Structures are given as structure tokens and as C-alpha cells.
Amino acid sequence: MSGRRTFPVCTTVALAAALAAGCSSPSSGPGEAPTHAGEVRGGAAPSAAAPYWVDPDSDAARQVRIWEKQGRTEDAKILKRISTRPVADWPAGDEPAAGIRAAVRGAARRDQSVLLVAYNIPHRDCGAYSAGGAADADVYRGWIGAFADAIGNAPATVVLEPDALPHIVDGCTPAKNHDERFMLLSEAVGTLRKLPRTKVYIDAGNPDWINDPSKLAEPLRRAGIDRADGFALNVANFQSNATVRSYGARLSALVGGAHFVIDTSRNGNGPLSGDRAEAWCNPPGRALGTPPATRTGDDGLDAYLWIKRPGDSDGTCRGGPAAGTWWPDYALGLATRAKS
């Protein structure tokens, strides 16, 4: 783990009565993902809310039902601030296709799009909380191919490989693995962009991690930013919208005006104050951020998205369960402190 963020180690896409959850199940309204100009591939106009499918059997949705049965009606009502909003699905690292197809079927019933995270790059997370990933380059190529095949012609947005580029920049990923990683990311962009209705955003960390955006410009170019729809910022982190927007604009100017998306899932109160150890890991007092939306008022900012699943633990810090495990009390705290 980089010391900046952590992600699910074992995740699946859950659809009601279709799939059982792995370590924890993800969740991800109307229309399809907009193009850079705010238009829509396929025709349906976007709403102010992000046009993505909401998993009816997410961990948050199941928790709401449990609390309602237990008479915890006020807590259940508060938790609906998570369960009723689109959150990214993180398909299982070993076999992504079944989960993606289930999500695609669920989204198709409502004429919606799926929001997905591809997270299986070899040597993932430098051996820390979310260590793992594909065994080698060929396994990864097969995995991303299966990922793409499962999306097919459906409308989708994919956030590609959180951590992968920032860990090159910060020196965590050994130099001997750099060329392979750039190659695999570039190939993944190509594979996913062949799909007729899929948008791809390459992860580029957050301003607190790589504070000089110029350090990410060449890595993004080598990863295929010229063929992607843009880059993603603040995934699983807590930096404020204003800070991330400013950073994104600077980075965009360095890579040909590429657009970007921001993870606002938990940044409602900004980052933990003070220089505290593991400030990225289950910090207390945080809140849900700006609800998912594709109308941002910023031509370069395509969407506010909930990419990290609110309520999933960052790791075994501050009393949390293993990384990626649903933590109801933390989720309730995020939702209780939310401003919207």
C-alpha cells in the first residue's frame, strides 16, 4: 500500500438474486454516459445525477433492509444516502465476466450505464493492504480481454487501474516493472476503447500523493492518455473538490487538454487535518461528498463519481476490518455527516 489509499482485495458485482457477494459487494440514474461535450452516446440525455446503475443488492442496500427489520428506521433512512446512489463496481480479480454481465443486465433493464473499476494489474499495491493482481502480463491480458468482452455493446465507464501510475512515480513499483506496466495500461486502453459505448479514465492519484502534476504527464502519455477519455483523480481519497479541480486543470494542460473525473465518495469534510499517520486509512470524522453527477459546470470535468465504495474499509487501521470489507458503522458515520 502506498500510504495514500487502499482498495478491495476480493470484490464482486452483486445483483439481487443473481450473484453471491465475495469479500463485499459493490453498488454502482437514467440515460448513458455523456461524451466530453456533454452529449450522449446512444441518444438519451443525461440527468443532473450520474446516469449509472444502482445495485439493488449492494452491501449498503442489504444493510438498510437489515436495519429496517431491526427497527433501526432512522439509521436505515440515513444509510439510503449511500444505497440509493450509483457507486462503482469492482469486478472480481480472478473472474470478472460474470459480475460485469450481471451488472450490465441490471443496468439494461433501466436503460442505464455501468460504472466499473479495472483493478488487477500485476504487482498491485506494492505488496500492501490490497496486494495481488494478475500473476503476469499474459494473465492480465486475458483478464482485461474478459472484462471488455463482458461489457460488449453496453454503455459503460471504466476507471483503469487505481494506484498503477502513481506507484511508478513515487518509486514504490520497482523500475524493472515499469515498462511492462506502461505497456499493459496502454493495451488495456486500446482494448476497452474498441468497445462502442465504453469510456476509459486512467487513474492519476491525488494532489496529496503526487503534489507536482508534471511528474504524471509522461507516465499518462505512455499509458495511452491520448486514446483514453481522460484521467481519474482522488480515488479512495479525501481531498476537497476545489483542490482536486485545480490540480486536474493543471494536469490536463500538460496532457493535451484531457478531461477528468473526480471521486467524491468520501471527501465531504476534506482530508484529515494535521500530519497524522495513515491519514488516508479509515480517517474519523469524514463525510460523503458531492453526489454523483455528470453536470459539473466545468468543461474539463466530466463527472463527480463515487468510485471508492463508501463504507468499505481501507484496511486494518483505526479498528477497521480488512481492506474492502463492508463496515456498517463507518458507512453510517459518512452518511450522517453528509451535507446532501
- Predicted TM-score (pTM) of the model is 0.86
pLDDT, residue 50, reads 65
**pLDDT averaged over every residue in the chain:** 87
d(CA 81, CA 138): 41
pLDDT, residue 124, reads 85
Asked if 122 and 178 touch (Cβ cutoff 8 Å), the reply is no
Locate all alpha helices (DSSP H) within the chain, ordered by sequence.
59-69, 73-83, 97-109, 137-151, 164-169, 178-193, 214-223, 241-254, 328-336
Render pLDDT for 280-313 as a digit per residue (tens, 0 to 9).
Answer: 999 999 999 999 999 999 999 999 999 999 999 9
| Catalytic pick among 125, 203, 229, 312 | 125
d(CA 157, CA 229): 9
pLDDT, residue 275, reads 74
d(CA 25, CA 20): 8
Q: Which residues contact 257 (CB under 8 A, 6 or more apart)?
A: 300
Is 212 in the active site?
no
Rounded mean pLDDT of 246-258? 98
d(CA 164, CA 121): 7
Q: Which range has the worst mean pLDDT, 9-13, 29-33, 122-126, 201-205?
A: 29-33
pLDDT, residue 84, reads 97
| Catalytic pick among 163, 203, 229, 302 | 163
Residue 20 CB burial class (10 angstroms; 0-12, 13-18, ≥19): exposed
Share of residues in the chain with pLDDT > 90 (%)? 78
| Catalytic pick among 59, 89, 312, 314 | 314
d(CA 73, CA 66): 10
Is 111 in the active site?
no
